[in-house]
Amino acid sequence: MKKQFVAYIRNLQNEITSALEEIDGKAKFVEDKWTRKEGGGGRTRVIENGNVFEKGGVNISEVHGKLPESMQAYFGVKDADFFACGLSLVLHPTNPMVPTVHANWRYFEMYNAEGTIVDSWFGGGQDLTPYYLFEEDAIHFHTVCKTACDKHDSSFYKAYKKRCDEYFYNTHRNEARGVGGLFFDYLKQTETMTMEDWYNFVTEVGNSFLESYLPIVKKRKDLSFLKANRDWQEIRRGRYVEFNLVHDKGTLFGLKTNGRIESILMSLPPHVQWRYDHHPEEGSEEEKLVKILQQPKDWISY
């Protein structure tokens, strides 16, 4: 399974970076191959200062070795080794009318002292973080997510949409990071779902990513904006940073397993603001967004 999924994410990285370069029209991804001394490595691709994307990364990694003591305690195991692979992407557009997007699809195996697999699972999802709320964009994004889910189980979208709303939530701010999408983790073999079934589901979601995001980019990338709109974008980016550094499990896992710091922090935007006790103007488009983020919304009917 791990060979199958590694082959998949390598190919998906190529597809996504090619499509993003085409829509940007200026910047190209710079590739950085790296190795991890404890085992494994990855292929980081970063795009910067383009016509559309101010900064973005589409990374794949395959890492393995001894599970750190802190993670052994977290999983309740001893003397365990692990293998983890995945594709993770974050795109921060220049135009504040274009939303930031994040996606991740991953596979994990854990081994005992004899090298036997004792556990394995898939995880991942994709979520949208707008700075200005165009409801039709949120509806489109969620519709694509639901379509991918429904091909495998009609209950998946509702369940994984709910988990996304719960997970990508800045509890210290009492607001969501964005308008959600899908989030799933610990997808393990059951009586009704084999690991091959989960592979087919996770790759279905991965294959739907470009369809979920690029139409939104095309629609919004040439809209006009003012400096005040950029200021708001940078303030909201600050909330994005707060989530990634305070709450995100992937970031914490990377730091605790001596992951490559440049790849881990690739998700952070280049220009951010933190203004003391900032509140948007009453009745403004900015306030409209905040109100939605304070109470997750069902964008489409189940």
List residues with catalytic annotation. Answer: 102
Q: Report the chain's terminal Cα–Cα distance, integer Å.
A: 32
Q: Is the Cα dihedral 241, 246, 251, 255 positive or negative? A: positive
Task: Assign 87 to helix, strand or coil.
Answer: strand
- Classify residue 174 by burial, with Cβ atoms within 10 Å: 0-12, 13-18, 19+: exposed
Q: How far is residue 123's CA from residue 229's CA, in Å, rounded to a whole number?
A: 35
Task: Assign 13 to helix, strand or coil.
Answer: helix
Tokens 């084999």 belong to 194
Are 144 and 208 contacting, i.e. CB atoms less than 8 angstroms apart? yes
Q: How far is residue 26's CA from residue 256's CA, in Å, rounded to a whole number?
A: 36
Q: Tell me the one-letter amino acid at 129.
A: T
Strand partners, 32: 44
Are 28 and 47 contacting, i.e. CB atoms less than 8 angstroms apart? yes
Residue 62: phi and psi, rounded to 5, are -140, 105
